[in-house]
Structures are given as C-alpha cells and as structure tokens.
C-alpha cells in the first residue's frame, strides 16, 4: 500500500538545518497495524506527516497503491487527506464551539457530503459516544474527545488511519479504551499507522518501526503478519475521481454555516469588526440623505425661480436701483412689457412692482413685503396656489382688491384658521383672500414665505401709489433661447428709452439660469464632499475588518491546520474567510443602514435640516459594504489559505 524510497526531509531554522528524515525506505501493506517509535526529535512525526500527505519530502519517492504522490498538486493532496486517510491527533484538535456530531462530520463538509451527517452519528455510536453527541469538547473528558477524533477520522471510510500519539494526553484507563478501539478497527481490516513513545501502547501493534536521528534503526514484527487486504491498484485514482465528483457538490450553505459558526464563536471580536463598517455605512446613508435633501430643497427653490427666466430691473445692479442722478434709472411701463411680449423668443411676461405694507385681521397685524404681479407670474414663478386660486385677467384689469398670502403671513394673521374667503386690511384697504402661495422656505437672507401677492394694477394705483413698474419677468421659449431673448430685450429697452450705448447703469437683466447653474454646482460639490467623507469612513472600517481578520488568522492557525488536514483545499479556506469578512461587513452594513436612516430622521425632526433617504443610497451603501468585505478580507483569506497544515497544527 505504502512504499517510501530514500525519503529525506530537512527543516531550516535561520542558519541552521535540521535533518528530520535521512533516506528512509519503508514498505507497509494494507491491513497492518504499525507503531513508529523513537525519542523526541527522532523524525517519527515527520515520517507520519509525510505518509499522511500533510508534508512533502525534499527528496525520494512515495508511492501509494503504486501511484507516485510527490508530484501531486496541493489540492490533490487535500483530496487524499479527505477521502483516503484519517487522522487522530495527540491534541485532539476539536472545534471548541462545535458539538461532537459537528466535529465528527467536519470531513464530510469538504467531501461535499454534509447531507450524510448521520454517518458521523453512526461513527460516534461505534466508539461509545451515543449519549454525548450534542456535547461540546469542553463537556467531554480527554478520552471522550479522542473518541470524537477517531469517529471523525473514520467518517469518510478511509483506507488508512494515522494516529499521532493518540494516548499522549490521556490517563491509563482512557489510554486502554482508545487502544482497544484502534485494535478493533485493525481487526476489521483498517490499516493503522501510529506514532508513540510508550512501549505499552506500541505492544498493541503488530509491527514496530524504531527511529533515531531521522533514520530507521529497526523494523520488527511482534505478532502474526497480517494478510494484505485486497485493494485495487487503481484505488487512489478512484478516490481522486470520487473526490472530483463530490467536491462540486459543496453547497454555499455549508461554507456560510462554517463562517457563521466562526463569527458567533467570537462575538465581541466580530462586533468590533462590524463597528467600523457600521459607522461607515451609517455615515454614507446619513450624508447622502443630507445631500439629497439639500438637492431636493434646491430644486424646489429653483422651480420657484422659474425655468428659462430673465429678470429685468431698473438701475444698475451695482447701485441696487438707487439713482445716482436724475434719469439714471429706467422707468418701465406696461407698453414696455407688451413690446417684450412680441419678441419671438419670449414665451410670457409679467410686470412687477414691489413695496411693503401693514396687514390687519381683527386683532392681528403684520408688516410684510407686497408684490404686484401680472397674470403670467403664477406659472412663471411656480406660484399658483395649491389652496385657493390665482388672479383672473379681469381682476387685474379692474384693479380688484384680491390677495394671495404667503404661508408665514397666513400663520401670523390667521394661525390655524382657514384664511380663504376672509377679508384683511392692507394699508387700510379691504382685500379678499383668494389663495395661499406654495411654501418656498427660508433663504440665506430672508423668509421667502413672508410676502403677499396682489394684481400689479391694484398695487400700482391703489396700494403703493406708483406710476411705473419696478421691473418685469420674461420667460424664454426654451433653455436654448435664453441668451438670444436676453440680447433681444436689451436691444429693445435701449431703443425704446433711447439709452446711450455706454450707459450701463440704467437697467440690468439677470439670467436666472446662471443662478441655477451656480447653485446646482455648489450642491454637487457638497454632495461630492459628503460622499468622500462617507467613503473615508468605509475605508477606515475596511481597514479595521482586515486588521481583525488578520488577528483571526493568527488566533485560528491551528484550526486552519486542522481543516486542511481533514481535506480542506486552499480555495475552501479562502472562501470561508471571505464569507466571514463579507458576512460581518454585510451585517454591519444592515445595522449601519438603520442607524443612517435614524440619523437622517433626527436631523430632520430635531435639527431642522432637509434630508431624504433614497433606495439608491441604501443599495449603494450595501454594495460598498460587501465590496469592502471582499477587498479587505481577500489578503487575510489568502494568507490563511497558504498556511502549511503541519506548521499550522504545531502553532502555539
């Protein structure tokens, strides 16, 4: 079954070399019970690890059922460890948080046969643990833990069982029980290769190989030579092929279950790992909600400004309408408004006069801004009331005393009362309230809802006593016509009022599109800044994940070695660690989403900031949290997957 020819193995520690094996040649037949003895450092464990595919020799040949194994890939050796051999270790190497049944079934996971967990139960029953199946290692005695390890070694029906000091940590009674189990297994036809330094343990074997300084010094049969068990010379190929057929059946569920067990085994460490992502995702949600809220508020304000809008005012913007000398400020008339309306690039025009006045309703009074406007103003400035109605053309023509109140004014005069249909006094004149303006909100310099709107003719001739317009609004037919309309209006006003070409202070035209672009650019910059801050939080959280995962790899080195000894491939280990990282980041992301949404609500309810949580921001935050888990979990996962099983099992 096993043939070693001139096997050598050298370990290097700094500048020193240790020759663990020196040209060892051994033949072992199927069905034998072999004990390998020797003092510490004699090379017996190295020989066992080499025969058990845990380690590779530096030189020599190792054939298993006639198949050369020294040139096999790491994954092929893992397949052999899973399906062809079984291991029983001196330190038991059981997963502390798993039950006896889960520990015994661990090789089935990497064989793609976890659904056959009843096999593990049967093996536990066969070693006398039928009543301890659900117990964890901490609830078992040393002898019982070693029985679990034996059941684990047998669960995949291996061709040979390797036992490394199987009774080294047991009392005499447990030692006797374990050796009887191994002897019974050998009687059933199992090949047993055992390392021990105790003669009373070696006496159970039928063949004893003694080693010293990496060499075989004696090889004796102490009992009847066993007849070789009939095993096909193609057994190893069949095992490998069977492994190839089953490995594809490993379900993602099994990987996830292993990862979740590892996460829940160290709750505090896992929570600390999630904390960074939790804060990062919460920051992303809150910052994006704040940015989206600001964007929506800005869009609402821009809508109130009007689209493709031009504002024409008398006087220079530099002197803000204050005349520096007689005739320096253009006085607009209704004739100017009608002339502008005839420009082909202009869609609509509204005259405008402004002032202030005292409003009285019963015992309440309030001083506010008054705007006299034309019929088209409602559509141009998104001012058509949601409650009530807009002026009619006839009301403007007749100078009717009707008024539309801003939200702030309505609250000051009427409180919670419905003002529609009520009569108020404006500068001692009675006005009928016909509507409420849509809410515009607070600007940096004023309350945009602290205003009333009345017909422009009423404002000029009945309230403010003006015989000229302060200006007018003109709306271009589309966004591409704004500049052309502006130039046409400028030429028209200059011509009608005979303004010299070099006179820049008589009137000015403000393009609202430029204001919109500026505000949108500012908002975009703010959103980018907020997103960058949130992204930094996620990166910091990811670094925390990587740090914790690296610590986890170090702490779980022996566990990784055990899993690889039981047949886990490098890919299996990497997938498990990646799933752990992604699970922690995803879980932290879900909690972070809840915290982010809560933070957005707090900012809205208690701080008064405008926020809006969108599905896009939630999906984006979740996606990036998973990507952070993959990105920062990849290195620790790769590091774990590259560990040598022997070195990992020896790690302290």
Which pLDDT tens digit goes with each residue over 100-134? 998 998 888 888 777 788 889 999 998 888 888 99
Place of tokens 């068990």: 229
Cα three-residue angle 547-551-553, rounded to 5 degrees: 115
Place of tokens 């404006």: 426
- Give the pLDDT confidence score for residue 603 in this predicted structure: 83
Distance CA 349, CA 338 (A): 8
Which pLDDT tens digit goes with each residue over 50-109? 999 988 899 999 999 888 998 888 888 888 888 889 999 888 888 888 899 989 988 888
Distance CA 43, CA 321 (A): 101
Highest mean pLDDT (candidates 186-190, 233-237, 247-251, 471-475)? 471-475
For residue 519, pLDDT over 70 is answered with no
What one-character DSSP code corresponds to residue 384?
-
Classify the phi-psi angles of 165: left when phi > 0, otherwise alpha if psi is within -120 to 50, otherwise beta. left
- Give the pLDDT confidence score for residue 472 in this predicted structure: 93
What one-character DSSP code corresponds to residue 391?
P
Highest mean pLDDT (candidates 265-269, 450-454, 610-614)? 450-454
Which pLDDT tens digit goes with each residue over 622-645? 787 778 777 777 888 888 888 888
Query: Which has more pLDDT, 471 or 261?
Result: 471
Phi, psi of 435 (to 5 degrees): -175, 170
User: Which pLDDT band holds residue 16 (cuts at 50, 70, 90)?
Assistant: confident
Nearest Cα to Cα of residue 301 among 381, 391, 394: 381
Average pLDDT rounded to a whole number, residues 281-307? 71
In 279-380 the beta strands, taken as DSSP E runs, fall at: 309-314, 346-361, 364-373
Average pLDDT rounded to a whole number, residues 367-387? 91
Distance CA 516, CA 303 (A): 9
Average pLDDT rounded to a whole number, residues 221-227? 65
Distance CA 37, CA 44 (A): 7
For residue 527, pLDDT over 80 is answered with no
What one-character DSSP code corresponds to residue 605?
I
For residue 373, pLDDT over 60 is answered with yes
Nearest Cα to Cα of residue 277 among 558, 483, 546, 53: 546
Distance CA 144, CA 158 (A): 21
Nearest Cα to Cα of residue 161 among 141, 176, 146: 146
Distance CA 184, CA 404 (A): 100
First to last CA, the chain: 34
Strands 191-195 and 160-164: parallel
Distance CA 257, CA 322 (A): 78
For residue 505, how many other CB atoms are within 10 A of its CB? 18
Which tokens is 308 given?
A: 């493709």
- Give the pLDDT confidence score for residue 551 in this predicted structure: 77
Phi, psi of 325 (to 5 degrees): -160, 165
- Give the pLDDT confidence score for residue 374 in this predicted structure: 94
Furthest C-alpha separation in the chain:
132
Average pLDDT rounded to a whole number, residues 361-375? 93
Average pLDDT rounded to a whole number, residues 399-421? 94
Cα three-residue angle 576-582-587, rounded to 5 degrees: 125
Distance CA 590, CA 284 (A): 12
Strands 387-388 and 471-476: unpaired
- H/E element holding 152? helix 142-154
For residue 177, pLDDT over 80 is answered with yes
- Give the pLDDT confidence score for residue 561 in this predicted structure: 87
For residue 454, pLDDT over 90 is answered with yes
For residue 455, pLDDT over 90 is answered with yes
Distance CA 124, CA 234 (A): 30
- Give the pLDDT confidence score for residue 241 in this predicted structure: 55
Distance CA 179, CA 254 (A): 34
Q: What is the 3-state secondary structure (H, E, C) of 178-229?
A: HHHHHHHHHHCCCEEEEECCCHHHHCCCCEEEEEECCEEEEEEECCCCCCCC
For residue 232, pLDDT over 50 is answered with no
Q: Are 79 and 240 in contact (CB under 8 A)?
A: yes
Distance CA 441, CA 296 (A): 12
- Give the pLDDT confidence score for residue 248 in this predicted structure: 42
User: Which pLDDT band holds residue 323 (cuts at 50, 70, 90)?
Assistant: very low
For residue 28, pLDDT over 80 is answered with yes
Q: Please name every residue paired with 359 in a beta bridge, in sequence order, or none if there are none.
A: 366, 426
Place of tokens 């740090």: 547
Distance CA 541, CA 545 (A): 6
- Give the pLDDT confidence score for residue 441 in this predicted structure: 75
Chain-wide mean pLDDT for the chain? 83
Strands 346-361 and 471-476: antiparallel
For residue 243, pLDDT over 90 is answered with no
Place of tokens 């409180």: 415
User: Which pLDDT band holds residue 8 (cuts at 50, 70, 90)?
Assistant: very high
Q: Are 410 and 436 in contact (CB under 8 A)?
A: yes
Q: Which domains, from first to last, does the chain contain?
A: 2-250 (3.40.50.300), 258-300+518-649 (no CATH), 331-498 (no CATH)
- Give the pLDDT confidence score for residue 100 in this predicted structure: 92
Distance CA 123, CA 104 (A): 8
User: Which pLDDT band holds residue 281 (cuts at 50, 70, 90)?
Assistant: confident
Distance CA 576, CA 573 (A): 5
Q: What is the 3-state secondary structure (H, E, C) of 401-463?
A: CEEEECHHHHHHHHCCCCCCCCEEEECCEEEEEEEECCCCCECCCCECCCEEEEEHHHHHHHH
Q: Are 55 and 46 in contact (CB under 8 A)?
A: yes
Q: What percent of the chain is modeled with pLDDT above 70?
A: 88
Which tokens is 581 given?
A: 């990282």
For residue 242, pLDDT over 80 is answered with no
For residue 543, pLDDT over 80 is answered with no
Place of tokens 């705007």: 371
pTM, two decimals, is 0.62
H helical segments located in 470-511? 482-496
Q: Are 622 and 586 in contact (CB under 8 A)?
A: yes
Query: Which has more pLDDT, 507 or 304?
Result: 507
Q: What percent of the chain is modeled with pLDDT above 90?
A: 31
Highest mean pLDDT (candidates 254-258, 298-302, 634-638)? 634-638
């Amino acid at each position: 079954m096993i043939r070693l020819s001139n096997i050598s193995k050298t370990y290097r520690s700094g500048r020193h070399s240790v020759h663990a094996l020196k040209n060892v040649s051994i033949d072992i037949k199927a069905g034998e019970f072999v004990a390998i003895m020797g003092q510490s450092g004699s090379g017996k464990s190295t020989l066992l690890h080499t025969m058990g595919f845990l380690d590779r020799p530096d030189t020599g040949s190792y054939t298993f059922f006639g198949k050369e194994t020294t040139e096999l890939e790491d994954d092929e050796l893992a397949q052999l460890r899973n399906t062809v051999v079984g291991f029983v270790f001196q330190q038991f190497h059981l997963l502390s948080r798993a039950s006896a049944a889960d520990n015994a079934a661990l090789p089935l996971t990497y064989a793609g046969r976890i659904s056959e967990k009843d096999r593990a139960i049967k093996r536990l029953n066969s070693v006398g643990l039928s009543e301890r199946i659900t117990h964890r290692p901490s609830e078992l005695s040393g002898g019982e833990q070693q029985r679990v390890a034996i059941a684990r070694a047998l669960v995949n029906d291996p061709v040979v069982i390797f036992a490394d000091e199987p009774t080294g940590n047991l009392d005499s009674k447990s030692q006797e029980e374990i050796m009887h189990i191994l002897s019974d297994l050998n009687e059933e036809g199992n090949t047993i290769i055992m390392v021990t330094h105790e003669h009373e343990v070696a006496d159970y074997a039928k063949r004893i190989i003694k080693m010293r300084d990496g060499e075989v010094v004696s090889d004796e049969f102490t009992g009847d030579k066993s007849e070789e068990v009939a095993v096909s010379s193609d057994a190893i190929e069949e095992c490998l092929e069977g492994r190839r057929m089953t490995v594809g059946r490993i379900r993602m569920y099994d990987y996830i279950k292993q990862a979740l067990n590892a996460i829940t085994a160290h709750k505090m460490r896992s929570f600390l790992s999630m904390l960074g992502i939790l804060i990062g995702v919460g920051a992303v949600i809150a910052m994006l909600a704040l940015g989206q809220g600001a964007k929506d508020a800005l869009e609402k304000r821009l809508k109130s400004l009007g689209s493709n809008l031009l504002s024409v005012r008398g006087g220079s913007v530099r002197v803000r309408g204050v005349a520096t000398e007689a005739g320096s400020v253009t006085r607009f008339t209704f004739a100017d408004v009608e002339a502008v309306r005839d420009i082909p690039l202009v869609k609509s025009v509204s005259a405008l006069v402004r002032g202030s006045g005292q409003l009285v309703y019963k015992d309440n009074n309030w001083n506010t801004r008054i705007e006299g406007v034309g019929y088209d103003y409602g559509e141009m400035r998104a001012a058509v009331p949601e409650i009530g109605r807009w002026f009619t053309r006839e009301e403007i023509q007749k100078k009717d005393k009707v008024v539309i109140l801003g939200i702030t004014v309505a609250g000051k005069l009427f409180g919670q009362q419905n003002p529609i249909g009520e009569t108020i006094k404006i500068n001692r004149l009675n006005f009928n309230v016909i509507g409420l303006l849509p809410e515009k909100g607070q600007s940096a310099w004023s309350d945009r809802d602290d205003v009333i709107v009345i017909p422009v003719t009423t404002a000029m001739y009945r309230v403010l006593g003006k015989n000229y317009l302060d200006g007018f609004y003109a709306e271009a037919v589309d966004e591409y016509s704004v500049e052309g309309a502006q130039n046409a209006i400028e030429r028209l006003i200059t011509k009608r009022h005979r303004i010299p070409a070099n006179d820049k202070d008589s009137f000015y035209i403000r393009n609202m599109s430029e204001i919109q672009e500026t505000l949108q650019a500012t908002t975009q910059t703010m959103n980018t800044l907020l997103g960058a801050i949130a992204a930094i939080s996620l990166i910091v959280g990811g670094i925390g994940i990587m740090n914790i995962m690296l610590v986890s790899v170090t702490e779980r080195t022996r566990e990784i070695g055990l899993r690889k000894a039981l047949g886990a491939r490098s890919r299996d280990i990497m997938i498990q660690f990646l799933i752990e990282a992604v699970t922690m980041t995803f879980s932290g992301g879900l909690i972070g989403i809840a915290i982010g949404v809560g933070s957005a609500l707090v900012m809205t309810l208690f701080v008064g900031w405008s926020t809006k949580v969108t599905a896009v921001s939630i999906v984006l935050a979740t996606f990036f949290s998973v990507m952070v888990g993959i990105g920062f979990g990849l290195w620790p996962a790769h590091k774990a997957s590259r560990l040598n099983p022997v070195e990992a099992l020896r790690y302290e």
